[in-house]
Structure 1
Amino acid sequence: MASAFREDNSHYEPTSPRTSVHGARGGDGEETANAAERPSNDASSADHVQEKTAAAAPLTKKQKVKRHCGKFWWWYLIGSIILLAILLPILFLVIVPAIVQRILDNQAMPVYGGAFIAVSSKELNVSITTSLDTPLPANIDPVTLFMYNAETPEFSPFVNITLPQMHVDGETEINIPGQTVAITNETELIYWFSNVFDNPKVQLSTRGDSVVRLGALHSNAHIQKTVEVSSLNKLSGFGIQHMQLMMPAEANGTNIQGTLNLPNWGALTLGIGNLSLNLMSGDLRIGLITVYDVLIPPGNNTRYFNGELYLDVVFQNLGTILSSQGDALSEGNIQIDATGNSTVVNGEHIHFIEAILNNRRVTSMIPVVKLVGDLISSFTNGSQVSIPNLLDDVFGNSTLIQDILTHWNTTTTAGDSTAAKGKRSQPSLRKGVLGPGLSLLKLGMKMGMGKF
């Protein structure tokens, strides 16, 4: 038994260093073994500390947002859909239309040119040139523009025109081509044309609705604008430039022709067909002339006319005429006024033009020397002619002509009621009226007969 026990102990191998019963340290071999174990334990502790340090390092803001969105992305998607469902209708139905409307409201839309041409008593041919200045490129669908008077309490357009589809980007010129349109309210048109004739500037109001497209977006827009347009200013500068008697007169009575100036101070070309004008001296109608195919663009316009000068009325009422010419004659002029008589296009009277011009009066001042020279040279051609005999051929009344010429050589006072004995009674004239007028008349006759 004892040997067997010993055999087992011989195979026993301790797993830890042995110590003495008294606690003494082992030999050198034991310390060496402990020294070899320490570095391994220290390395393990260092790795553990580093792991804790790395795990405890704070995340950046970007990392936090990314981790948060990754965790709650579904909720954000639902919230975005709800938000867009609320905001997009506001954007498209409120914000964009408001921006577009504000841009249109800020447009000046000046009228640079255009035309109003009478086609018939019920139609006009209208064209307009204007401009738009937009901060964004846009396309505008065709729009019907109604023209009306802003002063009229109730909206009452007199014509409407169609603005074609157009693209605008920055300052863009807009040309509305000539289009024949129906007159929808003649009373309002007469009111507007009256202002065109009477004033240096006239207001033109327009209104319409269209669709403005900003790329894929589109918005309904309302156009309402009142602009000032230069106008006729009472035809200031109107005048007969040249007048010639036609002898013998034509079968229809035409015995006068010449040229006159029709000034247009406005921006719009006006066309009113054949215009007939009464020639007036004071309240006496002394003739009727016609200007053909009147189309007057801006500026001075020389136009041919012909018609009838009522020579019998002129000489039979010479005293009355000279009395009414006192102020003009004192400055060496003859005043001939003109009023509208008729306006005709293609044989049809244009009532809305006649309603205006037939109630307006324009004045032409003609130098006496030029007028008399033109008239006398019309039928003398520079030859030596006896004026009484010439006028006798015209009127067949030499006694009347002799009395008129005799009357020119005498002056009467304001209180005289009869002329000298043996003379026919003549109209009373203001003293001094005939003096300068007669001198100028004689000078004109001399010029006409080639004596000056």
Structure 2
Amino acid sequence: MASEEHTARGAAPSTENASNAATPQDAPAQDDHSDNVSSNDHVHDEKPAPGPTKWQKVKNHFMRFKWWYLVGFIILLAILLPLMFTVIIPAIVQNILNGQKLPIDGGALQVLSPKEVNMSIFTSLNTPIAATLKPTDLYLYNKETEPFSSFLKLHLPQQHLSHNSEVIIMNQTVKVTNETELTRWFNLFFDQPEVELSVEGKPEITLGALKYHRSLSKTIEVKSLTYLDGFALKDLSFDLASNRTSKYNMKGNLNIPNSGVLRLGLGDLMFNVMCGEVRVGLINLWDLQLWPGNNSVPFEGNFFFDELVPNLSEILDSQKEALNNGYMEFNATGNSTMVNGERIPYIEGVLNYKHIRFTFPVISLLGDVVGGLLDADQGSLLNIFGGAVGNSTLLEHVLGHWDGGDQEKTSSKDP
């Protein structure tokens, strides 16, 4: 028992000693763990070093391969520059030409002879860049005609263009290269308010030191004559005296409108005056110049009184509707066109087939005729109406009796 107790007592201290002995031995381990924890905390507190940015990567890449890129850029320029100067820029220049409207803002057309006309044209070109248009020829033609056949050729002088630029062709004498085509175009020009005119040329355009030969092919609209809508007889007078100095028995003024933008110089024109299908007169317009707008044009001519009586029934039949409105209706048709004694076929080929309608009040016409008769003497009336009544002797007797009666009345009034 005592032995067991001793043993038990001895064992207890032994356990405590062991515990106490173990404490100092574990201290270094605890210090190491504390150091590790401190070290780990320090590692977690430090931020990682930033890497290169995207731009730096790109920059580094280019710096690394810069010579390769330089070689590639030179090769690209060697391909693109010829392409730009031979394909791209010419295409841009051609596109600019194709977009030009070439409006006809004014000008003139003066007939000189059967083979020549004098022309002036005012138009404009609109370019986004400065350029020089070298002198070139422009061919005027009808686009409906196949094959291509121009009727006039204009010379366009050199033009310096920048944005909206005026282009002027002034007083050029040009040859008629196709009379048939010119007549066809004039016919449309006379009939319509606007007529198409096709233009073709091969201009050379320079952009600094660069030169390009391009093509110009345009169909433009030109304001024209609208069949002389508004043509009118403004005033009229008759000179039936036998001692008149002129060979014409009537004169007056016409209103001839020009609804276009070109001044037209057509020479000396002669028109038939038609009443239905009966020609009752012939008028002359000397050196006709039609400015844009209304033109008061003097005329002189002859009224065929001897055509009235034999054709009276036909004339009245053609005037039924007009007479109901108090007017006489006439038509003017071309007879001849002369310049310097030469006939102009490309004008006659148009005017001679037109019927330009105009009216005149019946009362005014009768008043003008009566006024002319009152101023006439017996001889002139006999010449005018003798053939119309078919018996000059009878008319002479009537006129003599009329004059005799007047003389008797006059003498009876005298004291």
What TM-score comes out, normalization by structure 1 length?
A: 0.69
SS at match of 1:158: strand
CA distance in 2, matches of 1:402, 1:214: 89
1:32-431 matches, within 5 Å, as 60=56, 64=60, 67-68=63-64, 73=67, 78-246=71-239, 247-248=241-242, 253-378=247-372, 380=374, 391-392=381-382, 394-396=384-386, 397=392, 399=394
SS at match of 1:373: helix
Shift of 1:248: 2.9
Whichever residue aligns with residue 301 of structure 2, its letter is G
Preserved contact between residue 140 and residue 197 of structure 2 (Cα < 8 Å)? yes
Unmatched segments (≥5 aa) in structure 2? 1-48, 387-391, 399-415
Preserved contact between residue 389 and residue 398 of structure 1 (Cα < 8 Å)? no
Cα 1:347–1:64 shift into 2, 3 Å: same
CA distance in 2, matches of 1:249, 1:335: 31
CA distance in 2, matches of 1:62, 1:208: 54
Preserved contact between residue 145 and residue 161 of structure 1 (Cα < 8 Å)? yes
CA distance in 2, matches of 1:398, 1:110: 66
Aligned counterpart, 2:24: none
Preserved contact between residue 392 and residue 398 of structure 1 (Cα < 8 Å)? no
Cα 1:114–1:303 shift into 2, 3 Å: same
SS at match of 2:214: strand
Aligned counterpart, 1:442: none
Shift of 1:377: 2.7
Cα 1:291–1:359 shift into 2, 3 Å: same
Cα 1:294–1:389 shift into 2, 3 Å: closer
Shift of 1:199: 1.5
Whichever residue aligns with residue 221 of structure 1, its letter is R
Cα 1:238–1:57 shift into 2, 3 Å: closer
Shift of 1:399: 4.6
Shift of 1:281: 1.0
CA distance in 1, matches of 2:224, 2:319: 30
Preserved contact between residue 391 and residue 401 of structure 1 (Cα < 8 Å)? no
CA distance in 2, matches of 1:189, 1:393: 44
CA distance in 1, matches of 2:219, 2:397: 63
Cα 1:223–1:298 shift into 2, 3 Å: same
SS at match of 2:150: coil
Mean Cα deviation higher: 235-244 or 338-347:
235-244
Cα 1:189–1:277 shift into 2, 3 Å: same
CA distance in 2, matches of 1:399, 1:335: 32
Aligned counterpart, 1:422: none
Cα 1:199–1:399 shift into 2, 3 Å: farther
SS at match of 2:129: strand
Preserved contact between residue 135 and residue 169 of structure 1 (Cα < 8 Å)? yes
SS at match of 1:300: strand
CA distance in 2, matches of 1:351, 1:328: 34
SS at match of 1:88: helix
CA distance in 2, matches of 1:130, 1:99: 22
Cα 1:66–1:87 shift into 2, 3 Å: closer
What TM-score comes out, normalization by structure 2 length?
A: 0.75
Cα 1:105–1:315 shift into 2, 3 Å: same
Whichever residue aligns with residue 252 of structure 2, its letter is G
CA distance in 1, matches of 2:232, 2:314: 22
Whichever residue aligns with residue 102 of structure 2, its letter is M
Whichever residue aligns with residue 170 of structure 2, its letter is P
Shift of 1:312: 1.6
Name the % identity.
43
CA distance in 2, matches of 1:168, 1:399: 79
Shift of 1:217: 2.6
Cα 1:305–1:64 shift into 2, 3 Å: same
Q: CA RMSD in A?
A: 2.9
Aligned counterpart, 1:12: none
Mean Cα deviation higher: 228-237 or 184-193:
228-237
CA distance in 2, matches of 1:308, 1:372: 16
Preserved contact between residue 242 and residue 379 of structure 2 (Cα < 8 Å)? no
